[in-house]
Structure formats: structure tokens, C-alpha cells
Structure 1
């Protein structure tokens, strides 16, 4: 984003969790990365799953899989793609409409298709597209098997996008301006109440989507301080009925419906984590607005929340003292009981994920510039969880203790962590899937959970 971008346009852009967030202008290499290799440090085989330079997987907590677990959705500059996980064949499902190469990058981005989430009930991908004449966004869903696209609803003015679709595929949720918009100088890489995805231009060898900007912390401070009024809403995908769940001057972001309960929405109060009460749930009738983690330490942080596969547990990065002590915590939405798995500094990750049976966890690591300031944390990690035996005083409200036993899967020393890898397990738990720019442009890769058979290792 250039310094000449009008303030009103900056206020309409967002740093968000959508999978297709950026326009990357990296130059593709003469040849694609290897199709597979065995990481010589970890002994695990890594497989390139996508063929398109600057392709990217979904944000770590957005469902990318069809209900039968056979196909995964990802995005690339030319549109929304489908990967058959068994054959590893890919195809373009929803193409981006052609746009002039000389068009302003913001308009070029806005005129494209933007994936939201794969359906939990039907084999479909929900996506949005803005009409550049009316400036209104319309929601669609595409059948992953047939390619048939169904138009759903057009969003009202000011509600330029939605972030999540509920479990029975009847509602979408988003945020919009509440009254006259404010246009503080907080930059183009932060969330505004319009919920419109940002355009980030990234040049150079290390690039891709979901790239974090320089100075993000300062911009987040300015956005939080702006106290921009907004509405948290749902919209019925059949009737178009808009329901207001919440009026707020807090910065509301990272909306995510439960994968099992169509009436339960998780969202966050965005901003520097030590300055917000971050993780919340609310019902689709606006009731039961509930803070999930209440701090008891100064400088305590909790965030990057995500649902367990069955929708029973909310998991989140928990640091009782920011940057000093590291846990992945779990909150049972029915019983309100909590677990917390401890890990070392070098094992901390920007994002985590979990298998359906909670037998394995994964993390995408981080470079020394992240909150953990890990000197040796640039790995895709596999975590084997262990609950610790409690032989002393215990109470129903106590957090139950556990530890992670970490195993390196992929060496990420050549990855630029401004692009977050956003790990997830494949539905059969055999792969950890992530996005990386270790070869320049981003691609989606999978690493086998089991070590490769003995033989010559190559690669990183």
C-alpha cells in the first residue's frame, strides 16, 4: 500500500483471517520446487501439494476440507482450487475474473473471488465477490464435485464481507460500520469494521499471502485506540435477514462458528493481546456473550484461538506472563473444564492445530522476532500430548496440567516468517499441511507424520 492511498480506503481495508488475502508480486522461479524430499534434519518426507506460485492454504482455524475428508480447498492468484488428497491432483474450481494488468491493485483484488470456508455439511466452498460498480459484495457457494455455483445473498452497504459460515450452512457472520466510519491513520494491514480483506503487495524472493507487515504492532495499537463503532452481525443465507448480535467500539475480529453447533459463534477482541480480553463466544440470538479466558496475571496473554474438530473444545495459545511461559490451553464449552499443555520456548508456535481424536497436535514454529523470541524455533512441530498425574489438591475449577513432547517435522530456516505457515492435519492424520515461501513464492506443502523409510535424505 502506497503512502498516497486515501485515508478512507485505508479505513476500509483489513488484516484478517481469510485464506485469499493478498496480491503478491513475487517473481516465480524458473522451475518449481521439488515435488518431494526427505528433510535431512528431521527424517520426515515433505511433499509439495500445489503447483501454482503464490498458492496458499487457508488460515489455520478455517475449515478447508469437504465433509468426506477427501478434498482440500486452497487459493492461488488465478482463483479457488481443489486438491484431491488421495490422488494429489488439483483443479481450478472458481476462477478469478480477468482484470486489466494495469488496474489499481486494490480494485484488482476487490474484483476477485475470495474464499471464506469449506462447508461442514455439503461438499462446497463459500466465497464472496464485490461488484466494483455498486461496491456491494455477494456471497456464493460452489459445489466442489460439480463446479455449480449458487448465488446466495448480497450484503448490505457497509458489510463488505463475512468471515465464517455456521455448521448447518444457514448463516454467515461478519462486522460492519456502526454509523459514520472513522478513518484513523492506522494503515492498510489492520482490520476495520467493514471486514474487507486487505491487499498487501510483497516483492522479493520471500513472499506470499498472509504476510505480516513491518510495524504491525504499532498499527494494531493505533487501530485499538481509534474506538471505531461497529456491529457484529449474522445474515441468513436464504432470506438475507440481517441480525445484530453486538454493538461495540472494541475491535472485533477473527469470527469463527463452531463446527458442530450452528448457534455458537466465537470471536475476539483484537489488538495487542496484553491490552484486551480476547476470546469470546456469543449465541446467534445475541445472548450468552461470554469471555472464555479471564486473566489473573498482569501481562498475561491468550489468543490465536481455534475450535477442536468436534466443536467441544476451544484451544488457544496461553502465556501467563507474555513471552516467558508457554502453553496450549483447552476450554470445554460444555463442562467449562480446562487443560493446559506446557512447552519450551523453542517449541512455541504462532499457530497450533489438533487431530480429531486429540492424539496429536502440531505447530508452525516461529523466528526470533516472534513473541517467544525463540533462538531455535524455526520448525514445523509435531506434539505428543501427555496429561500429568495429579496426586495433590485438585478442584473442579483448576486447570488440569499436561506437557507436550515435541518432534521436529520440517526445518523452516529458509522460510520467511512474515508469511505464517498456518498448519493443519490432513483428515486421515497422515500429513501436516502448511504454506511456505522457503523456495521464494509460496506453495502448500504436506509433511508426513511418520518418518520416511531409511534411505538417502536430501533437501533442507
Structure 2
């Protein structure tokens, strides 16, 4: 039973956080010794049913903030070795959509159209596909070194970035949209190298990645953010900079609101930014106040009023899921235990719960037991004896995330990030995993199917 004083948390975005916490929820148990991964199982460590949705190895769900559900909520778009397909997350039926060497952008929130790109010579062309008629439409041919990564809520605009200069010769930089990179079988843009520290030790994969990001940041390549009119193909510049501009996201509700990041090692940049599609309203969402403070992996709340992000003060020591209210500027910080820190967080469509996809011991939290999928219930920290500080309304609202484990990910290789997302009905998490070797798309039910063992 939840404490009455903590049973509800009302965040400044207007969302209600109800105490609907099932006392036990945990994570996935691997199956070994089988030629084919199991179709489904009940995780013995958590009591939750896990279902493999995909039949074909190499099928992958999208990046955590790419909208991937059809308007009826029944199917999720995935990438396959052959192109793009829909997976019904209840019947497991597969519906191929686009074949060939294409990269998914997302599904449209209004019509459900599939937006994607295809390389044509040295350039990239942008397309849409109607789910109703299966008619393909070529929207535009992008300029060289341009990428498109998001679609606005009314499907009138796409947005992307243009790098206006070539990178230094011989340097291999990350793609400017890690969301759709498929450079290795695990979907990771970077392969492990042999770079060594000053003491001669080999840098870990995570450290090598940080150093690669730092070199790209130091290049200070001129860039711009642009919008692309879906009806006419017209490009318009929104913002220009020599900062590394990346991870564009449109608000799920406001068609004129963009979020983007200053990419690079997080402790070296103020990462989170907002801008309107007309170029106004440039806003820094979070400013660092201590050395080695980091913030990132940002995402919008379903109503578009709030930005949520991973905050660490400092890096690898104190973990928060933090928020910024676009209308009022109000802020919330929900504390996260080290083992529950996650590469990516997400939020249910009704704003009641969060999810996390965990992380391995080599990642920033260095969690000794962090390889789980999590369901989180936010809980406010109340005033003492119902006495509020005179300036409480202007301070950060504190809270904690109470974690429930859903899937044991101990055999998962976290070079492939699971990128868990809630289904629109709030009953499952969809995620990608190499639990059994090959990459597949899975779903875990949020309601337990069995009583988990005592812990």
C-alpha cells in the first residue's frame, strides 16, 4: 500500500502520477541451448511474460523517441534485413511495407504514413508511404551531407540537419542520426578499435566512443537545422551553428516546436535546446552547474508540455530523471538508484509510468546489477509536517523513481541499446534485444503473469 502522503505526484506539466504500483515487477530470463529463440516465456526472476514478436533475425525496433505505432495502436514499425515492416504486437503478424536499402524516419502521428529515406547516388531522397493505399510518394531530394530525422505532429514538416563542410580526411565520424544507424550487425555506428590510454591500457568500448565523439565536436563543422515542407519539398533554414547539431525531435502535439541537442561528450556541452520552426524561441533547457555534470537522452512528454532527460550530478555518481516545463519553466528531479539507471528512459501515453532499459557495468553508471528492463513509478517527496518553504514554488520539485524489474537482460550485449517503448494502451513494453544472439523485437507484459520469487 502506498503512503497517502506520497500516493500522488502532480508535475507542472499537468500530468497526474497515480499510485498504481504493482509491488513486484522485474525483468527477462534468457533461454539457451535452442537453435531458435523461444516464442515466449515467463521470466522466472520477475514473473512477467516476454514474447518474441519477430520471426526473422535482424529485425529491430526503432530508437526510443522515434514514433513507431500505427494510429490504431495495434502495430509497431520495425526494420528488417529487407527493409521496413509492421509487426502486430498482439497477433505477431508481419506486414512488409518497403523493400530495399532504406532508413526509417518514423510513422506519422496523424495519418500513420511511413516516412523514410533512400540513397540515390551521392544524395538522399525522402519518401512517404500510405498505409491505406501503399502508394509511395517522393517528397524531396536532400542536399549533400543532409539528413532528415523527425516529422511534426500534423505531418506538414520534416526536420533535419545539414553539415556544410566535409569532415577531416581519414576520420570516421558518427552519423548525424544515430537513431537509424545500422553500420554493424548490432546497429551500433562504431566498431571497437585499439586506441590506448596514456598508461598503455586499451580504452573500453564506451571510452573509445567518447573520444570519437570529442573529435567530431572539436572539428566545429558548420551546420544548420532545416525544415522540409512535405507538400512542396521546400527547405527552410531554422538555425545555424558550428556546434554539432543532432537528435532533432518534433513535439508530439505542437507542430512548430523542435527540440535538438548539442552533440558530443555530455560533460563538454550544454546539450538540450528548443527552437521554433520559424527560428525564434531558442532556449537552453539545462545548463551545467558543476564540472562533470551531464544531461541528455532527452524526450518529450506525450502532451508535449514537458522535456524529460537523464541528469547526473556528477557523471556516474548521482542519477536523476529530470524535467523542464515548456510553459512555466518549472523543474522536477526524480532520483534513480545506480542499478536502475538506464541508457534510455521513456514514458507511458497517460504519463503514469516511466520505463528504463538498464545498462551494463561498462556504461556510465558502472552498475553491478543493472542489466534489466524496468518499470518506474514516480513518487513525490512531500514537505515535512505539511510545512512548505516560502520559496518552494520556485525550487526544483524532488521525487524518486520506484523501480520494478521486468526482464532479466543478463545475456544482452548493450552495444545494442534496447530502446524500450510503451505500447499506446500501456500494457506492454516493446524492445529490441540480442538476448539469444540474433537481434529480435520483443514485448514484455506489464501485468505479471506469475508471482516472482522473493528477493
TM (norm. structure 1) is 0.83
Cα deviation for residue 125 of structure 1 reads 1.1
Instruction: State whether structure 2 residue 149 is matched by structure 1 residue 163.
Output: yes
Secondary structure in 1 aligned to 2:148? Answer: coil
Instruction: Specify the alignment match of 1:406 in structure 2.
Output: 403
Instruction: State whether structure 2 residue 392 is matched by structure 1 residue 395.
Output: yes
Distance 1:243 1:357, change over 3 A: same
Contact 2:46 2:405 in 1 (8 A): yes
Secondary structure in 1 aligned to 2:117? Answer: strand
Cα deviation for residue 30 of structure 1 reads 8.3
Secondary structure in 1 aligned to 2:393? Answer: coil
Give the Cα separation in 1 of the matches to 2:170 and 2:123: 24
Give the RMSD, CA atoms, in angstroms. Answer: 2.0
Give the Cα separation in 2 of the matches to 1:372 and 1:340: 17
Instruction: Spell out, residue by residue over 1:107-156, the C-alpha distance to the aligned partner (whole angstroms, 9 max, x if none).
Output: xxxxx111101101102110111112xx2222111122432222222223
Instruction: Specify the alignment match of 1:205 in structure 2.
Output: none
Instruction: State whether structure 2 residue 376 is matched by structure 1 residue 383.
Output: yes
Instruction: Specify the alignment match of 2:14 in structure 1.
Output: none
Instruction: Specify the alignment match of 1:191 in structure 2.
Output: 175
Instruction: Specify the alignment match of 1:109 in structure 2.
Output: none
Contact 2:182 2:189 in 1 (8 A): no
Cα deviation for residue 434 of structure 1 reads 0.8
Distance 1:186 1:196, change over 3 A: farther
Instruction: Spell out, residue by residue over 1:176-216, the C-alpha distance to the aligned partner (whole angstroms, 9 max, x if none).
Output: 122x423254424x135x999655234xxxxx224654321
Match for residue 361 of structure 1 among 327, 330, 354: 354
Contact 2:42 2:450 in 1 (8 A): no
Instruction: Specify the alignment match of 1:175 in structure 2.
Output: 161
Matches within 5 A, 1:256-405: 256-390=249-383, 391-393=387-389, 394-405=391-402
Instruction: State whether structure 2 residue 424 is matched by structure 1 residue 427.
Output: yes
Contact 1:323 1:373 in 2 (8 A): yes
Match for residue 116 of structure 2 among 114, 127, 139: 127
Q: How many residues align?
A: 402
Matches within 5 A, 1:114-263: 114-132=103-121, 135-159=122-146, 161-178=147-164, 180-183=165-168, 185-188=170-173, 190-191=174-175, 198=181, 200-202=183-185, 208-210=186-188, 213-214=191-192, 215-263=208-256
After TM superposition, the structure 1 stretch with the greater mean CA deviation from structure 2, 54-63 or 240-249, is 240-249
Instruction: Please list every run of 5 or more consecutive structure 2 residues that lacks an aligned counterpart in the other structure.
Output: 1-32, 193-207
Distance 1:221 1:165, change over 3 A: same
Secondary structure in 2 aligned to 1:163? Answer: strand
Cα deviation for residue 279 of structure 1 reads 0.3
Instruction: Spell out, residue by residue over 1:34-77, the C-alpha distance to the aligned partner (whole angstroms, 9 max, x if none).
Output: 11001111111100011110111000011001223122101111
Give the Cα separation in 1 of the matches to 2:212 and 2:315: 20
Contact 2:298 2:308 in 1 (8 A): yes
Instruction: Spell out, residue by residue over 1:282-321, the C-alpha distance to the aligned partner (whole angstroms, 9 max, x if none).
Output: 0101111110011222211110001111211111001121
Secondary structure in 2 aligned to 1:162? Answer: strand
Distance 1:222 1:166, change over 3 A: same
TM (norm. structure 2) is 0.84
Instruction: State whether structure 2 residue 86 is matched by structure 1 residue 82.
Output: yes
Give the Cα separation in 1 of the matches to 2:265 and 2:312: 13
Distance 1:183 1:116, change over 3 A: same
Distance 1:427 1:374, change over 3 A: same
Instruction: Spell out, residue by residue over 1:204-255, the C-alpha distance to the aligned partner (whole angstroms, 9 max, x if none).
Output: xxxx224654321110111111111111111111112211112211111101
Instruction: Specify the alignment match of 2:437 in structure 1.
Output: 440
Secondary structure in 2 aligned to 1:396? Answer: helix
Give the Cα separation in 1 of the matches to 2:172 and 2:249: 24
